[in-house]
């Protein structure tokens, strides 16, 4: 296996969460792994992925669950920022709709294409 593919596989697995036999990813965590630096640009890929989900007759609400995430501010206080919990299928769609110039996107596409059940 290519070292870059193995690296992204490890990164994606390390941010995966499981609860009651359900696996999911935080969009905020996924954003970093996929090479995005701003939420605004990453959210564009998420919105395109939601459109793909709906066009495939799947429920957006089953795969893209709105959430919040606490982050520390520079002053040591915490504030909540928007996050989305993503199923494996949603992550696959995000990767498919991501910026194709990012090498991480191509690697994630390969990973999710081979892992999606």
The pair of three-digit structure tokens given for residue 6, joined into one six-digit string? 């193995």
Show pLDDT as tens, one digit a residue, over the chain (117 residues). Answer: 688 889 999 999 999 999 888 899 999 999 999 999 999 999 999 999 999 999 999 999 999 998 877 666 677 778 778 999 999 999 999 999 999 899 999 999 888 888 755
Helix (H, G, I), strand (E, B) or coil at 41: helix
Spell out a b/e string for 73-93, using b for 16 or more CB atoms within 10 Å of the CB, else e.
eeeeeeeeeebbbbbbbbbbb
pTM of the model: 0.86
Q: In terms of C-beta distances under 8 Å and separation of at least 24 residues, what long-range contacts does 10-14 make, across chains too?
A: 12/91, 12/108, 12/111
């Amino acid at each position: 296996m290519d070292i870059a593919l193995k690296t992204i596989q490890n990164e994606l697995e390390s941010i995966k969460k499981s609860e009651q036999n359900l696996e999911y990813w935080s969009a905020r965590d996924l954003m970093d792994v996929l090479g995005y630096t701003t939420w605004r640009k990453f959210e564009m890929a998420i919105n395109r992925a939601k459109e793909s989900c709906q066009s495939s007759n799947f429920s957006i609400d089953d795969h893209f669950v709105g959430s919040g995430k606490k982050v520390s501010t520079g002053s040591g206080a915490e504030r909540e920022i928007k996050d989305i919990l993503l199923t494996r299928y949603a992550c696959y769609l995000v990767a498919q709709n991501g910026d194709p110039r990012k090498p991480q996107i191509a690697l994630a596409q390969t990973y999710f294409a081979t892992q999606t059940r």
